[in-house]
Amino acid sequence: MDFGAANLSGLMAGFMTVVVLIGVFYRYVLGDARVWSEELARYTMIWMVLLTISVGVYRDQHVGLEIFVGLLPKKLQIVCLYISRIFMLIFMFILLYYGVPMARRALFESAMTMGVPMAVFVVSIPVGATLTVLQIIFIFYLEIFGEREINIPLNKRAKRDELRRLSKEGKSKEIEEVTL
């Protein structure tokens, strides 16, 4: 699921770039603005971001208050990690709760310049939320049954201290893992 969403997001980023370049070319080189390009790029970006949220959740690469959490003992860091995941689950369920009816209503609306049903774009909200909920549940499952190590992101200070400790102990393989 992570691999597919990451690849699809990458394709969307490339597609969005091409659409923006086409819009710029038509506007500034040919002097004939294509109004659909801005709208298509915007909706592609929304799809891309909502898909990428689930990828970031699975890889533990979301922005957080690592500077504060990093100062806590490891057990409290784990508690904070699980609390943040629970809040993410709650937020994603809220997105689902409001996103599904929004997508249904959007069936009867069309995009201003493209004439495509808005549901094509609005459905990205419940799809992204569903993928994220599934990723969080999958992470909980893997961590509970010991198939995945609990990943506490290191803040810069903790990362520096960990690198110093490992270099003193001469553990080059572990140093590579910390720096990745």
Question: Helix/strand/coil (H, E, C) string of 85-153?
Answer: HHHHHHHHHHHHHHHHHHHHHHCCCECCCCCCECHHHHCHHHHHHHHHHHHHHHHHHHHHCCCCCCCCC
Supply the pLDDT for residue 156. Answer: 58
Do 25 and 106 lie in one domain? The reply is: yes
pLDDT category at 42 given cuts 50, 70, 90 is confident
Do 63 and 75 lie in one domain? The reply is: yes
Do 14 and 85 lie in one domain? The reply is: yes
Do 105 and 119 lie in one domain? The reply is: yes
Do 63 and 110 lie in one domain? The reply is: yes
Q: Is the pLDDT of residue 171 over 80?
A: no
Q: Nearest CA to 55 among 91, 9, 95, 6? A: 6
Number of other CB atoms surrounding residue 124 within 10 Å = 20
What range defines the domain where residue 178 resides?
153-180
For residue 154, the 8-state DSSP code is P
Do 127 and 159 lie in one domain? The reply is: no
Do 13 and 89 lie in one domain? The reply is: yes
Do 39 and 119 lie in one domain? The reply is: yes
Q: Is the pLDDT of residue 49 over 80?
A: yes
pLDDT category at 87 given cuts 50, 70, 90 is very high
pTM of the model: 0.75
Do 24 and 78 lie in one domain? The reply is: yes
Distance CA 115, CA 110 (A): 5
Do 115 and 157 lie in one domain? The reply is: no
Supply the pLDDT for residue 177. Answer: 57
Is residue 20 within 8 A of residue 52, CB to CB? The reply is no
Do 47 and 128 lie in one domain? The reply is: yes
**Is residue 101 packed enough to be buried (19+ CB in 10 Å), middle (13-18) or exposed (0-12)?**
exposed
pLDDT category at 98 given cuts 50, 70, 90 is very high
Q: What is the mean pLDDT of residues 112-130?
A: 86
Q: What is the largest CA-CA distance in the chain?
A: 65
Q: Is the pLDDT of residue 11 over 80?
A: yes
Structure tokens at 74: 């490891």
Distance CA 72, CA 163 (A): 19
More confident residue, 87 or 68: 87
Q: Directed axis angle between helix 124-144 and helix 74-106, to 10°?
A: 150
Instruction: Please tell me the total count of domains within the chain.
Output: 2
Supply the pLDDT for residue 133. Answer: 94
Do 76 and 97 lie in one domain? The reply is: yes
Select, from the ranges 26-30, 31-35, 67-71, 126-130, the one with the highest average predicted confidence (pLDDT): 126-130
Structure tokens at 14: 């490339």
